[in-house]
Structure 1
Amino acid sequence: MNTSTPFHRSLLFAGLCMLPLLAQAQQSAKDQARAEEIVQGKCFICHGVDGESSSPVFPRLAGQHGAYMARQLADYRSGKRKSSTMQPMVEDLSAEDFAALGRYFESRTPLKHAVEDSDLAQVGRFIFMRGNPYTGVAACASCHGEKGHGTPQLPRIAGQHAQYTENQLKAFNKRERTNDNAVMHAIASKLSELELKAVSAYLSGLN
């Protein structure tokens, strides 16, 4: 092939430019396949194949931020976040596996869930959006966003099982969970039982 003409040189340049994209696509497919292997071998038992866990004691993972999830998995493996269930599940996984799992569950579409107690959820909406100025409880929306979608650093809490959210808030309050920022302990320690349950109920119905 004569590569001396401008046309042939442009074809050669275009082909060279495509190589990184092809390599990236191949790596993405490899990561996806690895994540699916782990999910079908471990995660689906508690969290479901698409991150929609059927039990309220296990978190819904669909739509969760991949970077946040990868960090939590690393904390489970190191023991920074305690769980007799999760630590054995992740002890043989790598940082690359954690990142692949994070991307996998982030790509799953969260489902809309009905609130069990709409009156309680309305109380929770007030606390979530405005906090409690009388007791110093900060508005949850100030960090997690008005829709509860969070950021790569802060979890998506919209649509989470009410029971799971309640359990985590109590764990923060008791300092049983310390791997995330200390702000959560300060907030959880000020929530009354009613406020805690109300916020959890409200979040369960967000999407």
Structure 2
Amino acid sequence: MKNRLATLLAGTALALLALPTHAADLKRAEEIVGGRCFLCHGMEGEAASALYPRLAGQHADYIAKQLADFKSGRRKSDTMSGMAADLSADEMKELGAFFQKKPATRSETTDADLAGVGRYIFTKGNTFSGVAACVSCHGPKGHGTPQLPRLAGQQALYLENQLKQFNTRERNNDNAVMHSIASRLTELEVKAVASYISTLE
């Protein structure tokens, strides 16, 4: 009985010791966000402009990977390469955890007809041009996975720009499937699917 109690107390003590470390990690992430990230992405990951991605609610592992790719040059961006240059792997993970905890936001529908076309592409794809449905990888609500980004609520203009970069191969650090999909989307479909995704919760 004494041994079991001692083991339980020791385990509880270890768990309590781990809590301040996690809090300190998020505190460090908050310092980094307040020092640089907030300029474009906001303190809550809400994005200061439609040009920049919303990071609130994004998967921590996905954010950490993108930061690592910016740092290594696998993903091209003069601005982000500079921002990530001195980040450690731990800090990238901490930033991911920081933004994942923030509540995600979304946009309101401004053109129901356009969003309707986007909903069709998102849920069914386009069998006539060989475009796969977005839900097949990103899920029915656009919430993605730790490896695939959460799309729900993302800025429409940012999504349009990323699809164009996948099409031109300016962005090639991620799943090559996106190159094939983006190359088959018409300009209308790009705008429509981006518009629809931006409204998802």
Q: TM-score per shorter chain, which class?
A: over 0.9
Please say if residues 122 and 135 of structure 2, whose CA atoms lie closer than 8 Å, have aligned partners that are also in contact: yes
Tell me how far apart the structure 2 counterparts of residues 191 and 138 of structure 1 sit (CA, whole Å).
Answer: 10
| Aligned twin of 2:98 | 104
Residue 85 of structure 1 pairs with residue 79 of structure 2: yes
* Structure 2 unaligned spans of 5+: none
Residue 14 of structure 1 pairs with residue 11 of structure 2: no
| Aligned twin of 2:151 | 157
Tell me how far apart the structure 1 counterparts of residues 74 and 58 of structure 2 sit (CA, whole Å).
Answer: 20
Please say if residues 115 and 193 of structure 2, whose CA atoms lie closer than 8 Å, have aligned partners that are also in contact: yes
Q: Which residue, 120, 123, 132 being the options, matches 1:129? A: 123
| Aligned twin of 2:180 | 186
Q: Which stretch of the first structure deviates more once superposed, 107-116 or 87-96?
A: 107-116
| Aligned twin of 2:138 | 144
Tell me how far apart the structure 1 counterparts of residues 106 and 124 of structure 2 sit (CA, whole Å).
Answer: 24
Tell me how far apart the structure 1 counterparts of residues 159 and 43 of structure 2 sit (CA, whole Å).
Answer: 21
The CA RMSD over aligned residues, in Å, is 1.1
| Matched position secondary structure for 2:173 | coil
For residues 105-148 of structure 1, the C-alpha deviation after alignment (integer angstroms, 9 at most, x for no partner) is: 00000123202222100000000000001111110010000100
For residues 142-168 of structure 1, the C-alpha deviation after alignment (integer angstroms, 9 at most, x for no partner) is: 000010000001000110110000000
For residues 20-76 of structure 1, the C-alpha deviation after alignment (integer angstroms, 9 at most, x for no partner) is: 212321221111111101010011110000100130110000000000110000000
| Aligned twin of 2:65 | 71
Q: Which stretch of the first structure deviates more once superposed, 146-155 or 15-24?
A: 15-24
| Aligned twin of 1:197 | 191
Q: CA deviation at 1:11?
A: 3.9
**Structure 1 letter corresponding to 2:53:** P
Please say if residues 41 and 48 of structure 2, whose CA atoms lie closer than 8 Å, have aligned partners that are also in contact: yes
Q: How many residues align?
A: 201
Tell me how far apart the structure 1 counterparts of residues 172 and 32 of structure 2 sit (CA, whole Å).
Answer: 27
Please say if residues 106 and 154 of structure 2, whose CA atoms lie closer than 8 Å, have aligned partners that are also in contact: no
Residue 116 of structure 1 pairs with residue 110 of structure 2: yes
Q: CA deviation at 1:19?
A: 2.9
| Aligned twin of 1:38 | 32
